[in-house]
Amino acid sequence: MTPTELRAGASLAAIFGLRMLGLFLILPVFAVHARHYAGGDDLTLVGVALGAYGLAQAILQIPFGVASDRIGRKPVIYAGLVIFAAGSFLAMAASDIWTAIAGRALQGAGAISSVVVALAADLTGEGHRTKVMAIIGSTIGFAFALSLVAAPSLYRAIGMAGLFALTGVLSLAALWLVAAVVPEVPQHVRATPGTGGLGEAFQPELLRLNFGIFVLHMVQMAMFVVVPPLLVVAGLALTDHWMLYLPVVLASFALMVPPVLYADRRNRSKPVLIGAVALLVAVQAGLAAAETGIAALAALLLVFFAAFNVLEALLPSLVTRLAPAHARGTAIGVYNTTQTLGLFFGGLGGGWVAKHFGTAAVFGGCATLALAWLAVAAGMRTPARARPVNAGAGAALGGKQQN
């Protein structure tokens, strides 16, 4: 990777990390704190407050992506970070559940994930793009793991208002990173203003990838409707779950590195993706049949997170390689919207299946979904590497596809 690519990857990962760390710090403690709000004893409204962020994201990912194709990445990122910070400060001032809901929705309205990923693709050659996506994904995963450990202590020290304020401050710090550290997009890879379009974001190969991210996050959310109760049954108290999640998540980062490097260096994205999806099927089958021992659950979760992290790096990299430059933000917006819908339907479907058919049926359903993805992915074509524009520039966009 060139120094510019390294700087782009590290700075954009830091922007994601700062924003997501603030967001993740809220999740482990919000439901407990909500009873202190007027109206916070209504669990439905508490759920709405938690879900309002995701709903706003689902609605606005595509418009933000389209806007970034038309007016540029950085202006849209600035606007999104300011909106997110404003939502954080509104939630900080909340004394009732409805204001908290409004603050969470406003946070979600700063839907810049697709724009940051598109900018990362603009600033890196195809030969290194999966590594950059892996850096970003690992930073988000580390922020999540850190939040599990830090959130309770910070909540005791500064309260929920302090956590929301910290979230806003971290978002404003990300503004400085965008301005001072993130490189400018080279002229030869800039999209022509006004050329972004939805039609080119729905190519058949992109639809395969969108189906994949939908299934991946549906499986993840459905799993975690039933995994925490399984851990409790296995003898691990709810307050101690981080002691399992933290080492498992961190170890999974190490396991993801070899397949990601192999996919990047050899342009072998398809076999790596197929292998990771096959592991998802095996994990779900294992969970359906597993005894409730903590060691067995930890081993299966380790394999799940390793496969999950590999797929989280591969899929957006493939989207950015397949989408034309002038519609890249739009394509990532569609991809991220599909991802968010997977989270919603995974939670809904996992809860319904668990209620009516039991825990094993949830894992069986997840295995079936992963098998369907395996069938869809079997026909995918890996995009060929584009030839460099010149010795000092990144890869040109486009190129034929190979089986």
Residues 53, 55, 59, 63, Cα dihedral to 10° = 20
pLDDT for 395 = 36
Output the pTM of the full model: 0.72
Does position 369 have pLDDT exceeding 90, yes or no? yes
pLDDT for position 238: 66
What percent of the chain has a predicted confidence (pLDDT) above 70? 87
> For residue 118, what pLDDT is reported?
83
Of residues 214 and 113, more confidently modeled = 214
- pLDDT, position 383: 67
pLDDT in tens, 145-169: 777 677 777 888 888 899 899 989 9
Q: What is the mean pLDDT of residues 292-315?
A: 87
Residue-level pLDDT at 396: 35
pLDDT value of residue 191: 52
pLDDT interval class at 291 (50, 70, 90): low
Cα(90)–Cα(105) distance, integer angstroms = 10
On average, the pLDDT of the chain sits at: 80
Q: Domains of the chain by range and CATH?
A: 1-184 (1.20.1250.20), 197-384 (1.20.1250.20)
pLDDT of residue 212: 93
Model confidence at 52: pLDDT above 50: yes
